[in-house]
Structures are given as C-alpha cells and as structure tokens.
C-alpha cells in the first residue's frame, strides 16, 4: 500500500519547492522600482486592445444596418483612441508637481461645461439624461467625464496644500465637500444618477485616503446613501429598474428587457463562448451592446475564460494603483493615485454588476472597453497620469534614467560597430 502512495507524496513534495520558487520570483518582480508602472501599462493596454476588438464585434451588425458598412463605430473608437494616446503619453512624462497645477483650471472648465448642458440648444438629451453638450458639427461631449478626473486632481492638490491643517476636521471638509457637492448636484440635475454615483465614490475615496475620522466618514457615507435612495425613489423609471432587476423575466418586454437579454447572452455563450464574432444577441436583441453591455457580448463570444481575463486585468490595474498610493511619500501622489484607481474600479464594478444583474441597470460604460468618445479619451489620459504617478515611487525615476542611458549606450555601440 505504501508503494502505491509514494508517487503522489513525491509529486507533492516536488510541487512545493516549485510553488515557493514561483512566489519568490513574483516577490522579486514586485520589488522592482518600475513594477507598478508596467503593471498599469500592461493591464490598461490589454484592456484597451480587447475593448477595440469587442467594439468591432459587438457593433458590426448595427454599423452595417445603419451606415452600410461594419466599421463605423470601430473607426470612430479608433479615432478617439488615436486622439487620446498622445495626451496620455505627455501626461505620463509629467512630474506630479506639474500635474497638480492643472487641477483648478480643469475643475473650472469641467464645471462650466456641466453648467452649459442646462442651456437650451446646447444640452442634448439621450436616454432620458441631458448630459451631453453639442459644440457644433461632430463635437458632442459628455462633460461629466472630464469632471471625474478634474475633481480627483483638484481634490488631491487641495488636500496636499493644506498639509498639517488636515488634523482639523473642518479643513478636511471645506472647501472640498461643498465643491464636490456642487459637481454632483450638476450631474444629478442632468438626471444622470449613474455618473453621480461614480462621482460620490470618488469623493468617499479621497476622504477615506486623506484620513477623515471614522464618524465623519460614516456621516458622509450616510449622506450619500440617503441622497441616492431619494433620487431612486423620486423617479418612477429608476424604481421600476430596481424592482425589475430582482426578477428581469417578470417584465421581459418592459423594464427587465435589457437585463434578461444580458443573462441570455451569457447563457448562449456557455462556458467556452460561441467564438469571436459569433454573438447572436448583437443582432439587435440586446440594446447598448457595444457600450454599457459590451461585457455581455464578450461573455457570449469568449465565454468564462474571456470574462475572467477582463476581471483579472481590472484586478491587476486596481492592485497597481493601490500599490502606487501606498508606496509613495508624497501626499498629492497618494491621493491622486487612489482617486483614479477608485474611480476606474468602482465604475467597472457598477458596470459589471449591472451586466451580471447583481445591480439594477444604471448605465455607465466599462472603462477602456466600452465604446465612447469623451469617456475613452479621459480614461486613457487618466491612465497616463497614473503611470506618471508610478514614477514617484522610490527608485522609479532612477531606474528609468538608467534604462535610457543603457539604450543610448547600446545605440552608440551599434553605430561604432557599423
């Protein structure tokens, strides 16, 4: 009997050093000064590439029906990405002190754009939300998207400026909470509760990281909960969404239509998916298939492996952002990194929760994956800023300088040999 049991025991004994070696290798990798920088770049880059593929797949049928060829939405998405990447590259090379200076101008511009949506003829209503601004021609933007990033950069800079005054609770709240409340109020005035919830999450993240007392944070959390509950119950449409998500099939042709078809998409794909481009639900059955519900099409076509890959990439991005915030000694860097990370991850959770019918359908895009113009540009620039903040970690700039010097020396050596 012992002879039969020996091989598994030996295999288990061999596997343990391998697991230990893998864990040690991972630990050494994470100890490198530029680990966070490359984790942000790699995870965000892969999400962006995967998003471009899925936008083409999810929108190809609608593009052909509406515009006569299958590349319309993909081409527009590609154009926005091409516009955003140079700005993200510039942002990634800025020092934190320079990024900090843009906070107030960004917030002022964002607030003005939000206010302009209430001007007749400029504000554009879509899906019941007047959250778009018509600047003429093809320039149609959603001001609440840059407002998210502006609030983070301004808030982080303002808290960093106060320094030791933050030991007094009034300096923790003023002027940040009134200003943030005004931005949230403008967004709620557009009837865009989904974006307002993301903005509230940003406010709570910054307050938590800056170190507000527990009782004060609890009060802020309670206020957010009460405000959210009020605006849900004040709208018959929102209340019907909340009720229907508990059982979408009870009102399949009405409020539960989108959530029920999202469930059908995952069921149709099964464990391994129907194959890239082979979705059935994108043929007009699932509304917003290329925007808010793109994860449903991804799950249908790529199955559980594709869905887990997306979740893993967002986990990696969140881990890298938290790591940047924890390893830096600069207050602005810590708050800005935490704010950007909190924004992207909370928005991803809200989107995925809506798609998986864990939450009511709220209507926010999946960062870096969903189709979108202003939202895509702002998120890509935010990733560039997060990469810049990663350079503020101990030893990161020295490591980058050493790599640049090594590349110059290799080029010089090749020229000499040539």
From the list 320, 399, 335, 401, the residue with the least C-alpha distance to 99 is: 335
Among 53-67, 206-220, 321-335, 398-412, the range scoring the smallest mean pLDDT is 398-412
Q: Residue 1 above 60 pLDDT? A: no
Mean pLDDT of the chain: 88
**Each residue's pLDDT tens digit, 123-154:** 888 777 778 887 766 667 889 999 999 999 99
The CA radius of gyration of the chain, in Å to the nearest whole number, is: 24
**234 to each of 9, 33, 227, how far by Cα in Å?**
64, 50, 11
Q: Which residues of 292-303 are buried (b: 16+ CB within 10 A; e: fewer)?
A: bbbbbbbbbbbb
Q: Residue 14 above 70 pLDDT? A: no
User: Tokens for 299?
Assistant: 């799950």
- Which residues, 6+ apart, have CB-to-CB distance to 189 below 8 Å? 118
Q: Does the model's pTM come out above 0.85?
A: yes
What is the spatial distance between Cα 273 and Cα 113, in angstroms, rounded to a whole number?
Answer: 42
Place of tokens 């709620």: 188
Sheet holding 129-134, edge to edge: 123-126, 129-134, 140-141
């Amino acid at each position: 009997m012992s002879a039969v049991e020996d091989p598994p025991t030996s295999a288990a004994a061999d596997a343990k050093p391998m697991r230990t070696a893998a864990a040690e290798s991972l630990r050494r990798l994470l100890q490198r000064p530029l680990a966070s920088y490359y984790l942000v770049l790699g995870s965000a880059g892969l999400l962006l590439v995967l998003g471009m593929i899925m936008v083409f797949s999810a929108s190809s049928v609608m593009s052909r029906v509406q515009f006569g060829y299958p590349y319309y939405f993909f081409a527009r998405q590609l154009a926005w990405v091409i516009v955003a990447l140079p700005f993200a590259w510039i942002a990634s090379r800025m020092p934190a002190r320079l990024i900090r200076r843009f906070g107030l101008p960004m917030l002022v511009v964002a607030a003005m754009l939000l206010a302009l949506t209430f001007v007749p003829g400029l504000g554009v209503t879509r899906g019941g939300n007047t959250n778009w601004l018509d600047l003429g021609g093809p320039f149609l933007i959603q001001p609440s998207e840059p407002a998210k990033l502006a609030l983070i950069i301004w808030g982080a800079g303002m808290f960093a400026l106060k320094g030791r005054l933050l030991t007094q609770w009034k300096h923790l709240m003023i002027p940040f909470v009134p200003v943030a409340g005004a931005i949230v109020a403008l967004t709620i005035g557009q009837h865009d509760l989904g974006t307002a919830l993301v903005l509230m999450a940003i406010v709570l993240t910054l307050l938590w990281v800056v170190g507000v007392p527990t009782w004060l944070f609890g009060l802020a959390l309670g206020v957010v909960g009460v405000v959210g509950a009020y605006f849900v119950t004040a709208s018959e449409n929102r209340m019907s969404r909340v009720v229907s998500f508990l059982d979408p099939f009870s009102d399949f042709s009405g409020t539960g239509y989108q959530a029920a078809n999202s469930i059908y998409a995952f069921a149709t794909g099964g464990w391994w998916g129907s194959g890239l481009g082979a979705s059935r639900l994108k043929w007009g059955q699932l509304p917003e298939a290329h925007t808010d519900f793109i994860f449903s099409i991804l799950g249908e076509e790529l199955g559980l492996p594709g869905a887990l890959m997306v979740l893993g990439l967002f986990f990696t991005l969140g881990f890298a952002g938290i790591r940047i915030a924890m390893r830096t000694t600069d207050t602005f860097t810590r708050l800005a990194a935490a704010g950007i990370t909190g924004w992207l991850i909370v928005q991803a959770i809200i989107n995925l929760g809506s798609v998986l019918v864990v939450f009511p359908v709220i209507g926010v895009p999946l960062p870096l994956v969903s189709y979108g113009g202003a939202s895509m540009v702002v998120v890509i620039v935010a990733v560039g800023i997060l990469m810049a903040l990663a350079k503020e970690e101990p030893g990161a700039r020295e490591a980058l300088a050493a790599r640049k010097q090594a590349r110059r020396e290799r080029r010089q050596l090749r020229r000499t040999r040539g």
